[in-house]
Amino acid sequence: MTTSNTADKLLTPEEAVACLRSGMTLGIGGWGSRRKPMALVRALLRSDISDLTVVSYGGPDVGMLAAAGKIRKLVAAFATLDSIPLEPNFRAARQRGAFELMEVDEAMFMWGLHAAANRLPFLPVRAGIGSDVMRVNPGLRTVTSPYEDAEMFVAMPALRMDAALVHVNRADRRGNGQYLGPDPYFDDLFCEAADTAYVSCERVVESFEGSVPQSLLIKRHAVTGVVETPNGAHFTSCVPDYDRDEAFQKMYATTPWSEFAERFLPPGGDEKQYQSAVQVWHEEQK
Amino acid sequence: MTTVTEVTRAEYSVIACADAWRGDGEVLASAMGGLVPAFGARLAKRAFSPDLLLTDGEAMLVGLDGAVEGWLPYRQHLAFVTGGKRHVMMGASQLDRFGNMNISCIGDWARPDRQLLGVRGAPVNTLNNAVSYWVPRHSTRVFVEKVDMISGVGYDSAAAAGPSATRYHRIPRVATNLAVLDFASPGHAMRLVSVHPGVTVEQVQEATGFPLVLPENGVPFTREPTPEELRLIREVIDPEGLREREVGPA
């Protein structure tokens, strides 16, 4: 079967980031320190794009962008490195009041993605009321069931985004994405909830012949660009291709940001330079 | 014959956590906030609540031998919560008299003195399924008069928020390194259920930043593990003794 009529969406990380603008609302897939589109985040860190609203089940993506001063507003339920519970750069940025925060619950966040993907203004959710999520988000509204129960719920607003960045194990050049690990996280929803979506992957494949159908998570109608970035989720996990680089993550968590950035994200660098710098660092540890 | 050695504080803590899931039937036992709750959940399943569902900490439901029996990625896990067939034991950075819990930040939310995790799933958990808490170091730093950022909803906050907040709200127990507590008192103020052997009521009160409700007929000791439970903890569930490192001294 020929696919020659469908668009080739292959981009470099720089080309993908060149499609983004300062002031945008940006969704970032993965969860905590798991399957984060770090190569795209790194390209973003090397760019002069800033003033972003970031929507994320936060991990080092949030920590790094916050440390680099690129976040104007964060929408999140948490930021964590998983094996290291507290994300140090996120903490430091919060403690110096570096950005505005819309702190919501994990489920509220999920229903916000569903609402956006379904072109609804909100979805009702039994979460938030009774907690200080309502106090710190005075703009959150409630909705009363129109049926006999007349229960009151939070009307979680749609988390509509200008662009989504996600990382998967495999993709084709048309934008179909496949995850091979145990958890899809919310990556398909991020793509569908955003006006544009950039999918980085470990490897571009010509076909998904022989694949488990359920692994084909992301469909090309929701994807703008595909970026092949081997080890692109580093240092977060991207199973089964690789586990989290715990040693490197620990170093990240204990190194001042300026020092880390100077070595691993120097001006004029790129993803290839980053991956070599990581290898050199590992050699030094032996 | 095994030699009888004294039951440690950490082992009473595992028992205190395990008993939270007693009689729970076919529900997901989610253990967060430490190893002791995870050991407790496994002990409960082995010893007296065989129908409990357990996860591998990632996306799979597994039996005691680790054999996969189901799939529970995050999006299904969050749906599981709202279905109510779940009893989670969470950690708590702050916990108040009515069970309001904070894991978000310490100080003024707008610019916190110490940013912690964020509210995570505590708001949805507390309104939808049973939520117990585990505190490895019972102290006035954790047990405070008022929490800085209500992440997990307490009884007073749920009541103030109305029927859709109270409908499925339930905090069965708080287990600590010193004691077992619950909210089964008039007005749902925190009540001292039992102290672990070797701990006094005064000690627990001193480590708590608000007056505890005391049962009328005195405070009993936390129950002893059965010999079989003790064997399971020591030989099967935590042979490396990791429980001892997590539990703070009295």
The pLDDT of residue A1 is 47
B3 pLDDT tier (thresholds 50, 70, 90): low
Q: How far apart are CA B110 and CA A137, in angstroms?
A: 11
Nearest 5°: phi and psi at A167?
Answer: -130, 130
pLDDT tens-place string over residues A103-143: 999 999 999 999 999 999 999 999 999 999 999 999 999 99
- Give B143's DSSP letter: B
* B250 pLDDT above the threshold of 80: no
**Which contiguous run of DSSP H or E holds residue B95?**
strand B94-95
pLDDT tens-place string over residues B172-205: 999 999 999 999 999 999 999 999 999 999 999 9
Whether A155 is covered by a domain: the verdict is no
Distances (CA, A) of A130 to A91, A133, A135, A143, B165: 25, 8, 9, 15, 7
- Give A79's DSSP letter: B
Whether A278 is covered by a domain: the verdict is no
Closest-CA distance, A284 to chain B, in angstroms, reads: 32
pLDDT tens-place string over residues B98-123: 999 999 999 999 999 999 999 999 99
Contact A227, A199 (CB under 8 A): yes
- B128·A127 Cβ contact <8 A: yes
The pLDDT of residue B4 is 60
User: Can you give the CATH number for the domain in which A111 is found?
Assistant: 3.40.1080.10
Contact A40, A227 (CB under 8 A): yes
**Which CATH number among 3.40.1080.10, 1.10.390.10, 3.40.50.720, 3.40.630.30 corresponds to the domain B9-246?**
3.40.1080.10
Indicate the average pLDDT of chain A.
97
* A213 pLDDT above the threshold of 70: yes
Whether A84 is covered by a domain: the verdict is yes
The pLDDT of residue B1 is 43
DSSP A222-250: G-SEEEE-TTTTTTSBBTTTB---HHHHH
Which residues of B fall within a CB distance of 8 Å from A58?
Answer: 118
**Which contiguous run of DSSP H or E holds residue B11?**
helix B9-18
Please give the average per-residue pLDDT across A190-195, as a whole number. Answer: 98
Whether A75 is covered by a domain: the verdict is yes
Contact A102, B113 (CB under 8 A): no
What are the tokens at B181?
A: 């507590």
Nearest 5°: phi and psi at A129?
Answer: -65, 140
Q: Number of folded domains in chain A?
A: 1
Distances (CA, A) of B9 to A188, B15, B196, B219: 46, 10, 7, 17
- Alpha helices by DSSP H, listed for A96-229, are 106-117, 133-136, 187-192
Contact A163, A192 (CB under 8 A): no
Whether A166 is covered by a domain: the verdict is yes
Which residues of A fall within a CB distance of 8 Å from B104?
Answer: 103, 132
- A85·B117 Cβ contact <8 A: yes
B248 pLDDT tier (thresholds 50, 70, 90): confident
The pLDDT of residue B71 is 97
How far does Cα A191 stand from its chain's mean position? 10
Counting every residue written for chain A, the total comes to: 286
- B120·A31 Cβ contact <8 A: no
Contact B192, B204 (CB under 8 A): yes
pLDDT tens-place string over residues B62-98: 999 999 999 999 999 998 999 999 999 999 999 999 9
What are the tokens at B127?
A: 């309104």
Contact B30, B23 (CB under 8 A): no
The pLDDT of residue A5 is 61
pLDDT tens-place string over residues B17-55: 999 999 999 999 999 989 999 999 999 999 999 999 999
Which residues of A fall within a CB distance of 8 Å from B121?
Answer: 77, 105-107
- B122·A126 Cβ contact <8 A: no
Where in the sequence is the domain holding A40, given as residue range(s)? 10-118+160-245
- B81·A107 Cβ contact <8 A: yes
Indicate the average pLDDT of chain B.
96
pLDDT tens-place string over residues A262-278: 999 999 999 999 999 99
Contact B196, B190 (CB under 8 A): no
Whether A130 is covered by a domain: the verdict is no
Which residues of B fall within a CB distance of 8 Å from A110?
Answer: 75, 78
Contact A168, A179 (CB under 8 A): yes
Contact A108, A128 (CB under 8 A): yes
- B126·A131 Cβ contact <8 A: yes
Instruction: Give the number of A-B residue pairs with CB atoms closer than 8 Å.
Output: 133
Q: pTM to 2 decimals?
A: 0.96
